[in-house]
Structure 1
Amino acid sequence: MDTTLQDPLVGQVLDGRYRVDARIAVGGMATVYRALDTRLDRVLALKVMHPALAVDGAFVERFIREAKSVARLAHPNVVQVFDQGTDGSYVYLAMEYVAGCTLRDVLRERGALQPRAALDILEPVLAALGAAHRAGFVHRDMKPENVLIGDDGRVKVADFGLVRSMDTVTSTTGAVLGTVSYLAPEQIEQPGAADARVDVYACGVVLYEMLTGDKPHDGDSPAVVLYKHLHEDVPPPSASVPGLAYELDELVASATARTPDLRPYDAVALLAQAREARAALSADQLDAVPPQALTAAHSNAEDRTSVIPRALTVQRPLPVNEDDAEPEAVFNRTSRLAAPPPAPPRSRSRGPRAPRGPLVIVTAVLLALGLGAGVWYINSGQFTKVPPLLAKTQAQAQERLAEAGLEVGKVERAYSDTVRRGTVISTDPATGARIRHNDSVNLVISAGPETVKVPDLQGYKLDKARTVLKDSGLQPGMVTREFNDELSPGFVISSEPADGTKVRSGSAVALTVSKGSPVDVPDVTGESLADAKAELAEAGLKVKVASVRVHSDFDAGQVARQSPVEGRQAAEGDTVTLTLSKGPEMIEVPDVVGDSVDDATDELKAAGFEVDEDRGLLGLFGDTVKSQSVAGGDRAPKGSTITITIR
């Protein structure tokens, strides 16, 4: 049976705006639906907190904290949050919809991945977490289920449901938040004191799982797995996949060190290590197919794992010899070199010829000596390679260059959102390039993220506020609307972060916008459509009539239900959706005359009716139905009361 059909939210419109079309997933705190934003006509994901948890203030606070946290992360690898609100008992987030699959789906289908594919997934995940860490937030629940791989190849991190600020301590009363297979030891020992390094640990476990197809620690119970996280190191991936590069073992070991101080301090630092490891691997090491892979690599464009993007910065080598080039490559080139001009004709005059034998011998000897000298010069230690310097401090880079017999050349500084301030972003020549001894290498050092001040936006109309943010180098984030007696609808009340706060360039700023003075929604159920429209218009509200009608106790054409319901507050100009009645549902009444009272009552209730007994004076001690108020075989409204007379 399709459980989606039983979900009461499917087909409903939340907050008069979001039409719920299908259920996608169910979690411990919320259910995720695919929905349509009827105002902007776009498909999105709607994350709705379970109504049973909506009465718990702590859960609601955590849910809303997720919205505000993610709204500040304008990053291409983070699932964006567009809106947050409530509708009756439903608390929801409107989020970016990513069509595709999760990393868990890929691992389940493919087992272990090639190192190149694993790094292609890991790097954007670390970029997303790095943006969160630099904004002051920790994810705390990294796992393959929270890594989305879109049909277009983009990798995004989802579900910041356990996110919290690094400078706060969460009161968990001893509860361990997260998923046991990916918990860092300090999350188990001190659940409320976790920092960015718990995400680094989880990413190391995810990398191990991508490289081997299995989790590093298993057991018959969660307690066994937790014990292993505390007392056993994550084994090197090469122990399960022989031949796996040493650099990948080092990357996993660095990220999953049981002592937090031995790990990279945040995802940005781990990202730098991952890129350095990739640069050290050969093409054969990157593309090696692990024996744990369930399906060999192939070129099927329909396969879901084909969305894992390859690096786009690798240049395709141009053909050296025109004759060796493929015809298509020749035709696709934008220009071709002109043919050299013909050599001038040689003189036909016949002069005395010099003897060529000794000259040829001398020339050959000189060429051989020159070639030998060239080979000696190249192999005599006159050249070296630029060592890997990425993520090193300027002092460390200078030391490594000196060890290689090289000097530091020009040093420039540039802003970077992903490379730690004071460390190397790039070198010229690049890592691995051949260079003469004693030559210099130019360095670009990170100046950290570029920061700007959040402008004062209070009193601006929403469109103007968005323009001011973009002009300031910032991005408009999630918009939350609140009632406000002082500002007209559509004007900005405040921003998060507040005006004057310094944030990195490109950060998203969440805006709180006025909904105007609140309007009490009147109860119009049971009224005719015309009367309901008039009453709502008088209250300053608009009306939308649902396309479907429902059976109810009200007469056909009267209002059966409304959204928002009576007692809710709305802003002037908001829309109230009315669902009209088809009248009571009429069903056939069973014939119970002559039955015992108990049998008659059971049969009528099973058919959907209420039962009333009329015993009178003569039926006080009777147990047989003499008559019924609606004759058997006739139709009556479902839920109505049938009176039985007893004798």
Structure 2
Amino acid sequence: MTTAPADPMIGRLVDGRYQVRSRIARGGMATVYLATDLRLERRVAIKVMHGHLADDNSFKTRFVQEARSAARLAHPNVVNVFDQGQDSDMAYLVMEYLPGITLRELLKDYKTLTPEQTVDIMDAVLAGLAAAHKAGIVHRDLKPENVLLADDGRIKLGDFGLARATSANTATGQALLGTIAYLSPELVTRGVADARSDIYSVGIMMYEMLTGAQPYVGEAPMAIAYQHANDSVPTPSSKNPNVPAELDELVLWATVRDPEERPRDAREMLDRLREVEPVIRGPQSPRTEQGTMVLTDAAVPAGAATAATQVIGPRVAPTATTTLEASEGDDTTALAKGAERRKRRGYWIFALVLLLTGLAAGTGWYFGAGPGALATVPETATLLPDRATELLEEAGFEVKLGQRNDPVVPVDKVSGTDPEAGRQVRRGTTITLFVSIGPRMLSVPAVLGLPEADARAQLKDFTVAEQNAGQFSSDVAAGSVIAVLDADGAPVGATYAELRDLTLVVSLGPVPDVTGLPVGEAAAAIEQAKLVVGYADAEFSDDVPADHVISATPATDPVRQGDTIVLTLSKGQDLVEVPNVITGQTIAQARAQLEALEFAVTSNVPAFLEGAVIASVQSPAPGEMLKRGSEVTVNFG
């Protein structure tokens, strides 16, 4: 019985500060460990990049990007990042440790969540995501595995390894960035993402929480991607009738194929979720908020003073006449002064209203129809630069030409814009129009002789065909790469265009050796190897029994499945019956008869007598079976 090797990270002191205790999880880029921060005496989660990725600058950049993206966020629903660094050849990331489970594990246990549970979890997810969007960060990899449910009830969003600033909107070029089941249509078709792409992923997650299944399934990732790009997500209630209409509408809003019709960011969707939450929870459990208490007159205790109550103290009362005159004089003066003040105030108010009206009208014109108005950046991809420039200028933008590599758009055609097509941008903004200079030419890694899986990993910057071209080889081990073919079927050179199609030729091992086998066994072995059996003319053989294989010869070079293997079968030894040549014949006649049967004839009769002498003795005797070419002796007796 063998035991798995111990993890060398367990017990290691990272950067003189973090003592690794145990392994928590392992992912595609890194392994996460539980560790103790010896300086602050607290438990942390430390994410360590896999060693085989440490020399890959693109992976290291993405790893550091996660630290920077998450460190910019400070929100109760986002996993905190404390530290990031390099210890020898090991890149690491220190995060908040949250004992608990992921949303994926919760769904595995419960399959379907109630509308109330879904609302609770999505409220926290959208709150954390809203903070990211406000900071200009798009997560780009939202899925249940990245939603953490802590044992103490906290819900946090983690794993910003694919996050990028919203202004970047750069093409990924790889459908495998992000889990395909949650990718938005624009990521699938154009490789670009913004905050609305995250909203689409949230909608898919909500559908899965309410129904227990993802809306799109397929045997291959490309089949699922095709559905995202071309189909509309159904309502959760069509699968689970207990889902309320409000959540149906929210899921459909979040998963509209056109990003322009989705919520613009997580804050807008969160606000809508909280609007419908009381309806979903029902009147028996509304969200509790501190209200304002209004006391009516009936609520004032008896004997309490109200606003109209006056308390008059003892004083000397004036005479009635004096009091009346004073009162009238005071009231007249007060009324006159009040009227004058109101008149002056009225002028100021009127002037202010006119000013504000003018400002509002000017502002409305500026932002509604004037230079400051928002306009949609038109789609210009694959157009010629001149035509694309015309469209952008007609929409009210300034245009600046730029160049960039593009693995899809032909050379000298427009590959896109910055800001990207479909974005709302103020008129007068300068739009960079990118003209394609074709795909980047990349060095092709040396993968000949490597196992197929290792070769595919090294060729990640190209599009490697799902099905390899199998080829029989006695020199290369089965499952290893014999050759790499380009899109035209020729061996690929030292450099090749980014994302262009490649096909791996993988060894199937040697052609089955069927020499010496009975014909039935030989044919079965060849057909089992998915080859075709052919037959040549049978031959005599002194060494191979009849109906056994003398040789198996490929009809093609190289040999691939479906090709023909030609079998030559044995007829056994070539034996002939020795005739009777000593009765009624001369030696010459006997010699001619035997040589016609391909025997070698010897005789003690001189040549000049062979025509007259009657033969009387032969050896071997008539009737014996003799191999062609054997010696037969005919003598005078």
Provide the TM-score with structure 2 as the length reference.
0.44
Structure with bigger RCO (C-alpha 8 Å, 6+ apart): 1
Q: TM-score, normalised by structure 1?
A: 0.44
Q: Which has the larger radius of gyration?
A: 2
